[in-house]
Amino acid sequence: MEYRKEHDTMGEVMVPADRLWGAQTQRSLENFRIGTERMPGEIIRAFACLKMACAQVNGSLGKLDSARAKAIEQACGEILDAGQQSDPGNGGTGQDGGDAAGITAAEFPLVVWQTGSGTQTNMNVNEVVARRASQLLADAQAGGQTATQTGGQAAPVHPNDHVNMSQSSNDTFPTAMHVAAKLSIEEKLLPALDGLIAELQRLEAENAGVIKTGRTHLQDAVPITFAQEISGWRASIQEVRAMIVASEEALSKLAIGGTAVGTGLNAPEGFGEAVAARLSELCGTQFASDPNKFHALSSKDAAVFAHGALKALAADLMKIANDVRWLASGPRCGLGEIRIPENEPGSSIMPGKVNPTQCEAVTMVAVQVMGNDAAIGFAASQGNFELNVFMPVIAYNFLQSARLLADVMESFRANCLAGLKPNREKMAENLEKSLMLVTALNPYIGYENAAKIAKYAHSKGVTLREAASDLGLLTPEQFDEYVRPEKMV
């Protein structure tokens, strides 16, 4: 492999010649050989949008010359284009860097386990954008176009002086976190939620007249329609959707403009507000400058609050998936009240066995999200003075949760709920055997006499109707008049 010399304030570093990154990225690669978790592609995309917005605002304020601003903007556009093809946060690899290929996802190789401020990822983006923007300026000059020049050559774009102008890692990384989190919710999570809600609404409408036994404490309870049971699932998802949407307000507030400690040193007045406005246009969703940058840099409460809503979604999905696999248990020795799609063989030794694998995937994702929530909460509690230094792990866990939840909801919808069917015969059989139908007799013979009927029927192995007659509490005709399951729902 060929190398080139790059330098930073600490000296020279050898960097692979075919890569666009510089000395600080290379130092991070060499100093943090920890794990396989790479900075999520959503963060890189958010940084590209942010650097583009900052260049545009710096250019409009006269702080950055138009040629460099345009070149930075073009380089950031290449990152966004590359992000459509490959996600480094999921192990994606792009083509080699360079003039022909432009910027690919492979230019962002840094691990999550780095400096807690995310400085090295900020510099990774700064270095890649700076080198690529310099190439673009040189190409423009070679093509006879106007370029900023020094001694007849296109002036380079510096990662700190130009790409990072009016910024600090301490305000760019939390800004990128919020942008990535909000976009992951709006672009991935909410569409998957809406698809799941629509599927549940369809099932609810189709099963309005199907009566079955209800269950509490895993024990038989009074009757319920299958549609009513499904409505509980549907309402829980709708409720948590509203919670997630409500959490977006806090994520909309951005730290940009606070620079190093929240004072805004080296940023022009109104910079944060102007960048937030540009980001709103670029991303197609609303952002605003956080009115208190000291809070924005040091507190991660917005991520905690929003991820709490994701944990609530995980809890509801866990409940729904468990209900489905309990109801589908069997097919002969379980409840067997519903049938779910048979997608793949369930055992390497038991022929013909089929398992509720989609439900299991949902519950595993729910466990992961709950673990992520604990990590995010702990990380957010560790802010010291003017900065929180656990931001990469917060970002990684949040985005993983959003991604997993969106994916598993769509998988569960398409591969399980879409083919779910009630086993009406089994539901009717279980309903007829349920001792809790006796509850309908309370107004007529009282709780204690109704309990006598239920206990007698259970101990003797007879029906409630037979027990009521044997005990002399009701005639068969009276029992039939009072116990009407369709009237109990």
Q: 237 and 196 in contact (C-beta within 8 Å)?
A: yes
Task: Say how far apart CA 414 and CA 128 lie, in whole Å.
Answer: 40
Task: Say how far apart CA 164 and CA 171 lie, in whole Å.
Answer: 11
> CB count, 10 Å around CB of 105?
25
Question: How would you classify the pairing of strands 288-289 and 253-254?
Answer: parallel
Q: Is 1 exposed, middle or buried (0-12, 13-18, 19+ CB in 10 A)?
A: exposed
- Report the catalytic residues: 217, 347
Please state the three-class secondary structure of the chain as a single string: CCEEEEEECCEEEEEECCCCCCHHHHHHHHHCCCCCCECCHHHHHHHHHHHHHHHHHHHHCCCCCHHHHHHHHHHHHHHHHHHCCCCHHHCCCCCCCCCCCCCCHHHCCCECCCCCCCHHHHHHHHHHHHHHHHHHHHHHHHCCCCCCEECCEECCCCHHHHHCCCCCHHHHHHHHHHHHHHHHHHHHHHHHHHHHHHHHHHHHHHCCCCEEEEEECCEEEEEEEHHHHHHHHHHHHHHHHHHHHHHHHHHCEECCCCCCCCCCCCCCCCHHHHHHHHHHHHHCCCCEECCCHHHHHHCCHHHHHHHHHHHHHHHHHHHHHHHHHHHCCCCCCCCCCEECCCCCCCCCCCCCCCCCHHHHHHHHHHHHHHHHHHHHHHHHCCCECCECCCHHHHHHHHHHHHHHHHHHHHHHHHHCHHHCEECHHHHHHHHHHCHHHHHHHHHHHCHHHHHHHHHHHHHHCCCHHHHHHHCCCCCHHHHHHHCCHHHCC
What are the backbone dihedrals phi and psi of residue 331, each rounded to the nearest 5 degrees, phi first? Answer: -80, -15
Q: What's the number of CA atoms in the CB half-sphere (13 Å) around residue 89? A: 23
